[in-house]
A and B are shown apart, each in its own frame.
Chain A
Amino acid sequence: MKCLVVDDSATMRRIVVNALKSIGYDNVVEAGDGSDAMHKCDASIELVITDWNMPVMGGLDFVKGVRANAQHAKTPILMVTTRSVKEDIMQAVEAGVSGYILKPFTPQVLKEKIDQILSLTSGPA
């Protein structure tokens, strides 16, 4: 499965990529902000993991942009962020996010969430 990891922090991207590799996801593309990610989010991307607060284009706008593309109407999108208030979660759901993880996270939480959203998207319509 090809994953797209979006975060303006190089260290955070590396941590997410490392966590993905530890749970068996080796095929990873990275982007430093939402705009960069929009260019890299082609039809081959099957899972998106994105931060919220980023320069140029933030995570929320990026998710809306991805969902506006019919190719990615159902692509699992995980928001991994430090934002924890209810209004933020509601905004994320409205934008089309499939799952929400609070930073700092563990690889176990990442695996659980990925398994959860993949099972939802591969389930019956």
Chain B
Amino acid sequence: MDAAQVKALATELETTLGLLGDLITELQSQNKEWQGSGRIAELVNRLAGQPNLAELPAVLLRAHAEISLVLGGIRLTRESIEAHAVERIRDTKDKLSDVTSTTESATIELMNGLDRSLELINTLEAQANGTAPSGGFESLRRQVSTLYNHLQFQDITAQQLQGVGAALLDLETRVSAVAALFDSALGHGPRAELLRRAVDASSAHLPFNPDATMKRSQTDQAAIDEAFKGARNGNASDPGCAVPGART
């Protein structure tokens, strides 16, 4: 109902009350016998004794003005959520994707450099023709191989960032759902169901593992080997994590 409709209703009510007042006065003045007898006389006297009824139209108009103010505030809040929270979440997700592609490109360049270093080591060893101790070249190759191996960080951090991205996507959906609740208050749409969406705890079906970590040791692989052996031997009932500290 808009302001014009509320005003029309208030005017109608005011007119009706005015007519009612006139009716009461008319009835009271008509036949004095009516005043003392029966239900009609009682009703007329009760109606005549309602001092605040005349205020009702003005009260309605004031209430409508206040509700309009509140709705205006809700509309601004909804727009603010959309403009600031949701947009910023999207920007952050985009930035995380940028970080992943940048680190991937940089890692590949590092690998290219390490490959060239290995070729150089081979060339130098061939040129040395046995005059230099071969242990030195082998040691260099091992160093390069170790460096190569450390670049696994890129895959692991990319998975962690994908996990963060997925969490942001979930957050964006839920914030949008909260904003949509305001739409419902403004009378624009159905109530959002997304707030009640359950969170899927398993990442087995996802293209990334949000729990990926660089913090691994020989002990962790040994624990995995034990668990693998146990699983192959049918120890399915043993609960718990394969690696201490790993999330289930």
On A, residues with C-beta under 8 Å from B are 7-12, 14-15, 18-19, 22, 52-55, 58, 60, 81-93, 99-107, 109
| Closest A residue by C-beta to B206 | A53
Answer yes or no: B176 CB below 8 A from chain A CBs: no
Q: Are B207 and A54 in contact (CB under 8 A)?
A: yes
- Chain A residues with Cβ below 8 Å from B107 are 11
Q: Would you give 15 A-B contacts (Cβ < 8 Å), ordered by A?
A: A10-B108, A11-B111, A15-B149, A53-B159, A82-B159, A84-B220, A85-B241, A86-B248, A91-B204, A100-B224, A100-B228, A102-B221, A102-B243, A104-B150, A106-B149
- Chain B residues with Cβ below 8 Å from A99 are 228
Kindly provide the distance from the CB of B155 to the nearest chain A CB, expressed in whole angstroms. 4
Contact A104:B159 (CB < 8 A) given known A11-B104, A15-B148, A89-B227:
no
- Chain A residues with Cβ below 8 Å from B108 are 10-11, 14
Contact A85:B209 (CB < 8 A) given known A9-B155, A53-B159, A103-B216:
no
- Chain B residues with Cβ below 8 Å from A102 are 216, 220-221, 224, 243
Contact A86:B206 (CB < 8 A) given known A14-B111, A104-B149:
no
Q: With the chains together, A83 CA to B228 CA distance in Å?
A: 13
| Closest A residue by C-beta to B115 | A18
- Chain B residues with Cβ below 8 Å from A8 are 207
Contact A103:B156 (CB < 8 A) given known A86-B239, A86-B241:
yes
Answer yes or no: B195 CB below 8 A from chain A CBs: no
- Chain A residues with Cβ below 8 Å from B153 are 104
